[in-house]
Amino acid sequence: MDREKAISVAKLVSYLLIIVGIVILSATIIYFLTVPINWLSYVGIILGGLLLNIGAAAIFLIKKLKLDIKSSH
């Protein structure tokens, strides 16, 4: 796999992690509003936050290290 393809796949995975993190956090907030709080709610918040932060950190590192296809040409 060449460099450009690997970077585009990494960016795609990062954006998907961000989207999934937002969806999990949103679903957990809706779950908070409808039922009493239990351990599953905390797992949803932690998991959603981790996915969101991992995706955001990956995007940040791709841009900071100038691995982005647009910035490298």
DSSP string, 38-53: -HHHHHHHHHHHHHHH
Neighbours of 69 (CB within 10 A): 13
* Residue 39: pLDDT band with limits 50, 70, 90: confident
Q: For the chain, give every domain's residue range.
A: 3-68
pLDDT in tens, 10-33: 999 999 999 999 999 999 889 888
Give residue 37's region: left, alpha or beta (phi > 0; psi -120 to 50).
beta
